[in-house]
Structures are given as C-alpha cells and as structure tokens.
Amino acid sequence: MRVVITSHGSTGDMVPMVALSRALLDAGHDVVFTAPDLFQDLIEGAGVPFYEVPPKWSTEDGRTAMKALARIKSPMNQLKRIYEFGSGHYQEYFEKLEALTEGADLLVSSYLYPCLQALAERQGAKFAVATFAHNAVPTDDQSPLPLLDFPFLPGALGVAWRRLWWWIADTAVVPTLNGVVGADLRARGYSTKWSFFRRPAPLALVTVSEKLFAPGKGRVDPRFVYTGYWRYQTPVNDAFEAEVDAFCAGERVPVLNFGSVTWDSATDEFTELLEVWPRGKKLIVQSGWAGFAQLPGAERKDILLIGHANHDRLFARASVVIHHGGAGTTASVLHAGVPQIVIPSIADQFFWARQCEKLGVAIIGRQKTWSRDLPQWVATVEAGAGYRASAVSVAETLGQEDGPAKAVRMLEDYVR
C-alpha cells in the first residue's frame, strides 16, 4: 500500500501516528508522514519519511497556543480555537495534501480533521481516522459529556438518550468548525456536510486498549475498532540514562511531566512547588513546554530537571508519575505499571484522569492547588500499596496487546 499519514496538534498527537507509520513501514508498505516542521526531527528520527505542511511553528508558538487553550473552558470553543490555529493556511495545506495523496491507496488522519475524507475520495484514496481517546467514540454506554449521563435511565431509554446527545453533538460541532474551515473546503469543491463524532470515516481506529476500554458487542458502530495503544519511544541516550541512574541511586523517585501542556501561571506555580517540596525528597522534573526551571543560585540537588526522555526507561524508575493526563503520557504510565497523580488542564485530560482513577491506579489533583498540595498527594500514593498493585495488573494486561500490528491488519483488509 501507499499510505499518507497526517496529524496536527502537540507531540501527543504525533507519537501514535509515528508508531503506526513505523509499523506500516515494517510491514513493507510505502509511507509518508505530513506534519508541521516542528515535528520533523521526531518523525525522521523514527525512520519515517517526512513531508512538511503548514503551519510553520516553533516550540514557542506551541507554548502560546497551549496557553490560549488553557484559558478556554468550553470543550466546543477549545476545538474551535484549535481549528483557528490553522486559519490562513488551509488552502496551502489542502493543496499539498492533494498532491501527495494522488495515486495513494490510503489517507490516515488524526481525529481532528474528518473533513479530509472528501479530499481522499477525490484523489481516489480510502480514508481512515485515528482516535486517541475513546470519550470521542459514540457508544451506547456514554454521552458526549459526563454531565449528560443519567444512570437511572434504564435499558433502551438510556441508549436512546445517549444516541440523541451524540446526534446533537455532531449537529452543533460541525457547523461551528465549518465557520472556521468551511470557506476553504468550499473553495476547493469539498463538501461541508461531514460528521465529527458519529461517522468520522468509514474506518475509525481507536488507539486505546481493547481489553480495558472497549464497549460490549453491539454497543458501538462497527466502523470504530479498538486496536490497542500505538506507542513509540525515542531512542535511549546512554549519557542521560547514567545521569538519571546516578541521581536515583537505586531509589524509586517521583517524576513530574506535564508534556506539551502549559498555562499562564505555570512557572510561578513551579517556583511555589520548590518552596514546599520536602528537603531531601528526590524529584525528577521534565521541563516540557512549560519551561520549568530552578532559580539561578537556588538550585536544589534533590531535584533533577531534564528535557526529552524515553518514557519507558524514565517511568521504570518512578515511585509515582505526576502528569497532565494527555493520552500519550497516560498510555506510557499505564504500560510502566506505576501509580499516577493526574492533574488535568484541558480537553480529554479530565476524561483520562477519571479513567485512571476508575482503574485504581491514580488520584486526581486540582490544577488550582497542585503546587501546594503535591507533596501530600505523593505521600498518599506512595503509601498506598493498592495503587501499585492495580498499576502492575493493568500493565500486565496491556503487555498482551500490539496496537500497531492490529491497526496494520485492519488497514490492509480495508484497502483490499
């Protein structure tokens, strides 16, 4: 097969697609990954052919965008704002994607742009999407928002209620997003009649654990297929590994990682955390897009600041991982078999926090108080043997799945 992969967003929106691209290449298929140049090193570092599409972003642009999203409380307005980040670039993006998709067998997009189905079909390619969090999957067991779920509605009545709300969600979201991208779609002759939730593509691959999260048979449209996680880990840096080993000295250490998430007061709150963090208690901090750093002249030797890292190797040293609840980071912590403290900020992070709590592997922290309360939360989780036992059990379950391999089989069957 000749496959075009496209994704936009943060690092968490790229890594699963890198894993899929790598699996397709290993299966003998021709693959090219289109993305903004901010992610070129990540993609090419995995040995995946890269093709640049707009917008042209820097890490600082990413930080600014993430801060803007953090100020928006409505999920609908957050999604609209994400689309607005591409305003002024859609015509160039569509033109480049059209040229690249001509003669291809398949276009696979991340869940953000199901409107690309019209482009794929015009170029004679089949279209599929990848959904990184199953809260966006319209099943008979959940509504688009937790507040819309009413457990007291029995059987068929509850199913009808939830299906109605998924229809309403589609009816509301698509016109809102067309308000941003609709003129560009029409300018190229593409339909503005598309579905974000219920029919995003003929095949929608849900990149989470089938064993842990898939609904029962008949509870979801068969176009949605739960494959298992798509995970890719950056190469191991031996010098970095030695530095972390020397810091840990055989001890399991809390790890703080907010990934691509940042917000206006993030650096001030980190400074506050350093003031209340117990002296002598080790902590590893990934600086991330928030740019966490110690104050010059006041550096603490019991706190190690690091940049990019192989999460499998890093989290294996953790007593607990404190993170934002992004889909990719959550997946890595679940696979590591380590307890979690999830401090959600935007979008599906709140959903993942609840999922981890339900699995018995995590507690949920409030972003407003995290810098003051984190030491107590860490003490609670480290003292609770049940969290680690549940985390180990979940990791054992996940170890039985191979999401990229299943996805490749599904795509091969789909294109035939």
Cα separation, 414 vs 35, whole angstroms: 24
**Crossing angle of the two packed helices 327-336 and 11-26, in degrees rounded to 10:** 60
What φ, ψ does residue 210 adopt, rounded to 5°? -65, -40
| pLDDT(151) > 80 | no
pLDDT tens for 172-231 read 999 999 999 999 999 999 999 999 999 999 999 999 999 999 988 778 999 999 999 999
Q: How much is the average pLDDT of 9-17?
A: 93
Q: How much is the average pLDDT of 339-343?
A: 98
The CATH architecture assigned to 238-398 reads 3-Layer(aba) Sandwich (3.40)
Tell me, what's the pLDDT at 347? Answer: 86
Question: What confidence category does residue 277 fall into, taking pLDDT thresholds of 50, 70 and 90?
Answer: very high
Tell me, what's the pLDDT at 292? Answer: 92
Ranges of each domain in the chain: 2-229+402-415, 238-398
3-state secondary structure of 13: helix
| pTM of the shown model | 0.94
Q: How much is the average pLDDT of 138-148?
A: 88
Cα separation, 205 vs 200, whole angstroms: 10
Q: Can 2-229+402-415 and 238-398 be said to share one CATH topology? A: yes
Cα separation, 178 vs 249, whole angstroms: 55
Q: How much is the average pLDDT of 249-275?
A: 92
SS (H, E, C) 83-105: HHCCCCCHHHHHHHHHHHHCCCC
Reference 65, options 261, 196, 206, 250; nearest CA is 261
Highest CATH level, class, for 2-229+402-415:
alpha beta
pLDDT tens for 391-402 read 999 999 999 999
Which residues, 6+ apart, have CB-to-CB distance to 191 below 8 Å?
Answer: 118, 185
Q: Locate tokens 């010098």: which residue?
A: 239
Which residues, 6+ apart, have CB-to-CB distance to 310 below 8 Å?
Answer: 233, 234, 235, 236, 237
Tell me, what's the pLDDT at 163? Answer: 94
Cα separation, 27 vs 143, whole angstroms: 37
Cα separation, 83 vs 181, whole angstroms: 7
Tell me, what's the pLDDT at 261? Answer: 86
Residues in the chain: 416
Higher pLDDT, 218 or 272: 272
Cα separation, 36 vs 136, whole angstroms: 24
**Crossing angle of the two packed helices 327-336 and 349-359, in degrees rounded to 10:** 20
Cα separation, 286 vs 8, whole angstroms: 23
| pLDDT(153) > 80 | no
Q: How much is the average pLDDT of 61-68?
A: 90
Whole-number percent of the chain with pLDDT over 70: 100
| pLDDT(125) > 80 | yes
Cα separation, 17 vs 232, whole angstroms: 9
Which residues does residue 224 pair with via DSSP β-bridges, in sequence order? 204
Question: What confidence category does residue 150 fall into, taking pLDDT thresholds of 50, 70 and 90?
Answer: confident
pLDDT tens for 82-120 read 999 999 999 999 999 999 999 999 999 999 999 999 999
Which residues, 6+ apart, have CB-to-CB distance to 383 below 8 Å?
Answer: none
**Residue 19 burial (CB < 10 Å; 0-12/13-18/19+)?**
buried
Cα separation, 49 vs 5, whole angstroms: 10
Q: What angle do CA 346, 42, 291 make, to 5 degrees?
A: 50
| pLDDT(135) > 80 | yes
- E strands, 171-315, are 203-206, 224-226, 253-257, 283-286, 303-306
